[in-house]
Homo-oligomer: A and B are copies of this chain.
Amino acid sequence: MEKNIRVGIVGYGNLGRGVETAIEKNPDMSLVGVFTRRDPNSLQTASDASVYSYDSIKAFQNDIDVMILCGGSATDLPEMTPEIVSMFNIVDSFDNHSKIPDHFATVNKAAVGANKIGVISVGWDPGLFSMNRLLGEVVLPEGDTFTFWGEGLSQGHSDAVRRISGVKKAVQYTVPIEEILEDARKGIGADLSSAERHKRVCYVVADETEQSRIEQEIKTMPDYFEPYDTTVHFISEDEFSANHQKMKHGGVVIRNGNTSADNKETVEFSLNLDSNPEFTASVLVAYARAAYRLNQEGGHGAKTAFDIPLAYLTPKSHEEILKNLL
């Protein structure tokens, strides 16, 4: 297959490295380079891809078809996405749910003005989970939707535990409560809060003398832990290194509803991920293909996972997908 889609990566953290790996698995794509705000000479990429300064990005307009933006949602993407979509087709993983409408509006304005496509908020939540929330409600208009996250590593909560004095190493996993998940499959518990549906499990390395105070501080930390069922396990450095290095995540979207008085139907979509950033990166890369194609057809403006037909995500021809996948 011809490598006709030329991709750039902006930002080289876990997500950017995941995109680099994912591009190699897609036969119609090539990686032109990584753009960074750090000193380009300080960065060695895994695939030996070239590294360029973020400031030089404009010079690549004839060489790159889609930029995949791998910055954070808190401060990077709100500025970066509109700026870059005025020069390139882009894909981002903006995941600050409450600010998505604003982000969409800003990106749309810039993208329309530049005749580019800006695919925002793809990944798995927002992204694949959003698609399943929408799909669940349209096929079962009378029913309830349940989203569970985990079992998965939460970066924010792990950081919060690590800030407690005496904590040497720590991770926090968000875990759906099994009985509540089983109930959801039967349509029970739609009114429960996130805190009632999930528990928090921490693995912490700390000196024995500090452990009871640390456990207390974790469990009473407001917002992060306080309303949740929280368990704290103190483990050795060795056990930590052996079992708690991966950025596992996942979750479930369930739609449960009746099609008539007697008949209940359940739709369930679940993810079980060894690497949250690598999987998110793989989704971004599939949507980069869509961004390229939509723009090739003359499309422009902001798009989300709701706005793009699935056929745009695959390198296969329409004939092939009708024959082998439909």
Q: Contacts A134-B314, A310-B135, A322-B304 given: A265-B269 contact, CB under 8 Å?
A: no
Interface: A8 (CB within 8 A): no
Question: A218 in the interface, Cβ–Cβ < 8 Å?
Answer: no
Tell me whether A160 is interfacial, beta carbon within 8 Å.
Answer: no
CA gap between A275 and B282 in the complex, in Å: 35
- The residue of chain B having its C-beta at the shortest distance from the C-beta of A278 within the complex is B259
Q: Does A190 have its Cβ within 8 Å of any Cβ on chain B?
A: no
Complex Cα gap A233–B319 (Å): 44
Indicate whether A137 reaches chain B with its CB closer than 8 angstroms. Answer: yes
Chain B: CB-nearest residue to A46: B260
The smallest C-beta distance from A320 to any residue of chain B, in angstroms, reads: 10
B residues within 8 A CB of A185? 272
Partner of A307, one of B104, B134, B289, B309: B309
Q: What is the CA–CA distance of A181 and B298 in the complex, to the nearest angstrom?
A: 44
Bound Cα distance from A131 to B306, whole angstroms:
13
B-contacting residues, A301-326, CB 8 Å: 304-311, 313-314, 318-319, 321-323, 325-326
Closest residue of B by beta carbon distance from A262: B274
A26 in contact (CB, < 8 A): yes
Cross-chain contact of A135 among B26, B270, B289, B313 (Cβ < 8 A): B313
| Chain B nearest Cβ from A318, distance in angstroms | 8
Residues 268-297 (chain A) with a chain B CB within 8 angstroms: 268-275, 278-279, 281-283, 286, 289
Q: With a CB–CB cut-off of 8 A, which chain B residues contact A266?
A: 271-273
Q: Which of B265, B310, B314 contacts A273 (CB 8 A)?
A: B265
A50 to chain B, nearest CB (A): 21
B325, A137: Cβ atoms closer than 8 Å: yes
Residues in B with CB closer than 8 Å to A271 are 265-268
Query: Does A230 count as interface, using CB distance less than 8 angstroms?
Result: no
Q: Which residues of B contact A325 (CB under 8 A)?
A: 130, 133-134, 137, 306
User: A113: CB under 8 A from chain B?
Assistant: no
Do residues B279 and A306 form an inter-chain contact, with CB atoms below 8 A? no
Q: CB-CB contacts of A90-109 with B at 8 A, as 1s and 0s? A: 00000001001100100000
Q: A263-B275, A266-B273, A270-B270 are in contact. List 15 more A-B contacts (CB 8 A).
A: A21-B260, A25-B259, A100-B326, A130-B325, A130-B326, A138-B314, A259-B274, A259-B279, A262-B274, A264-B274, A265-B272, A265-B282, A267-B271, A268-B269, A306-B326
